[in-house]
Amino acid sequence: MSFGYHKLIPAKGIVEEVIDEVPDVRTLIIRVEGEYKVPEPGQFNEVYVHGVGEAPISISDVYDDGRIAHTIRAAGSVTQRMIDVSPGEVLGIRGPYGKGWPIDRLQGKNILIVAGGIGLAPLRPVIREIEKNRAKYGKLTLLYGARNPRFLLYKYEFSRYESIPHTEFLVTVDKPDAAWDGCVGVVTILLHRTEISPENTVALVCGPEIMMRFTVKELNKLGFRDNQIFLSLERRMRCGVGLCGHCQMGPYFVCKHGPVFPYWLIKKYFWVDEI
């Protein structure tokens, strides 16, 4: 008899397309063989490179034909090898895992999305959902910041975001180049470039931890209550199923209790350095 480590055994994922995004970042469009649950916005997969290793990657798009997209930044040997794949190659896919964005609770609400850098990737499925079922949701305010214009993710889709009815889309960069004529500064300054009312609004935030800290502070100042703010956290989620221990943040296993948390739930730990 075998052990039965089903939870840790990946399914075969055929890479069908590789899209160059920004420096060190590519999007892989993958068809997963066999049974694979349709991911909810904000969930992630464990992606395995044969013989090299595994890493948790958020799901950045789900297509009607069941294919999924992963937008991956090369940050180490595993992710470097991951973005170096060619169409036709196989990656291991386990998932989808974790609690995603609170889609049920967004109906009839105004939605404020604040994304930093590659943090836009796990939020893209939310934008897609709003686009698809526009009448279900209130106003969409999409605020996006990146290091410099070269690092703006999904630039080719920006006009599409702008054309979503009843939507405001603002972009900023920390360091402009000569060609940039847009807003300059960290993403939180965008909160003051437009009219944002906490009334009937839910804020979804994803980006580097430092960016999320500043954003939460600003949101509180604008009158957002803690239960109106949702954050997607990044941790070393090695197993994805709450067994390996690595992703703990205080008493929470980010892989199964998150990665998306209501701010009030993690508030006590969020501000503790190196928790």
Partner 1 sequence: MRPILGLISMVTGTLYYGDIGELRKLFDLLRLKGYRVVGPKLRNNVIRLEELMSFDEMPYGYTDSQSPGRYRLVKSDGESFRVGPDSLKKYLYPPELVIFSVTKDWKIREPEFYYPKTAFFGIKPCDMASVLIMDRVQGAGGDPYYLRARENSIFIVENCLTPGETCFCGTMGTGPEVKEGFDISYTLIHEDNLVLFRCGSDTGLELLTSLDLEPAPSEIEIKYRRMMREAKERAQAPFTIDDVPDLLEHSLNDEIWKKVSEKCLGCANCNMVCPTCFCFDVIDEPELDGSSKRVRIWDGCHSYIYAEIAGANLRKDLWARYRHWVLHKFNYWQTQFGTLGCVGCGRCITWCPAGIDLRQVVYDVVKEVQKR
169 with 159: CB under 8 angstroms? Answer: no
Q: Which of residues 76-95 bind partner 1 (CB under 8 A)?
A: 76, 79, 90, 92
Q: Considering beta carbons, is residue 77 or 133 the nearer one to partner 1?
A: 77
Q: Considering beta carbons, is residue 60 or 110 the nearer one to partner 1?
A: 60
78 with 52: CB under 8 angstroms? Answer: yes
Q: Considering beta carbons, is residue 81 or 128 the nearer one to partner 1?
A: 81
Q: Which residues of 231-248 are buried (b: 16+ CB within 10 A; e: fewer)?
A: bbbbbebbbbbbeeeebb
Q: Considering beta carbons, is residue 19 or 243 the nearer one to partner 1?
A: 243
Instruction: Based on the shown chain and the rule CB under 8 A, indicate whether residue 213 belongs to the binding site for partner 1.
Output: no
Instruction: Based on the shown chain and the rule CB under 8 A, indicate whether residue 73 belongs to the binding site for partner 1.
Output: yes
Report how many residues bind partner 1 under the rule CB under 8 A.
41
Give the strand pairing for 53-62 and 11-20: unpaired
In angstroms, the CA 241 to CA 10 distance is 13
Q: Return the range that interacts with partner 1 (CB under 8 A); candidates 34-42, 68-76, 155-163, 212-220.
A: 68-76
Instruction: Based on the shown chain and the rule CB under 8 A, indicate whether residue 53 belongs to the binding site for partner 1.
Output: yes
Residue with tokens 């930093």: 116
The two tokens of residue 80 are: 């470097």
Q: In the set 5, 38, 64, 132, which binds partner 1 (CB under 8 A)?
A: 5
Taking the complex as a whole, the smallest distance from the CB of residue 12 to partner 1 amounts, in Å, to 5
The two tokens of residue 220 are: 């509180």
Give the strand pairing for 252-253 and 201-206: unpaired
- Maximum pairwise Cα distance, the chain: 65
Instruction: Based on the shown chain and the rule CB under 8 A, indicate whether residue 272 belongs to the binding site for partner 1.
Output: yes
Rg from Cα positions in the chain: 18
Q: Considering beta carbons, is residue 19 or 275 the nearer one to partner 1?
A: 275
Q: Helix 263-270 to helix 209-221 angle, to the nearest 10 degrees?
A: 120
Q: Return the range that interacts with partner 1 (CB under 8 A); candidates 107-115, 144-152, 158-166, 246-254.
A: 246-254
Taking the complex as a whole, the smallest distance from the CB of residue 252 to partner 1 amounts, in Å, to 8
Which residue ranges make up the site for partner 1 (CB under 8 A)? 1-5, 7-9, 12, 50-54, 73, 75-76, 79, 90, 92, 208-209, 234-236, 238-239, 241, 243-246, 248, 250-251, 253, 269, 272-275
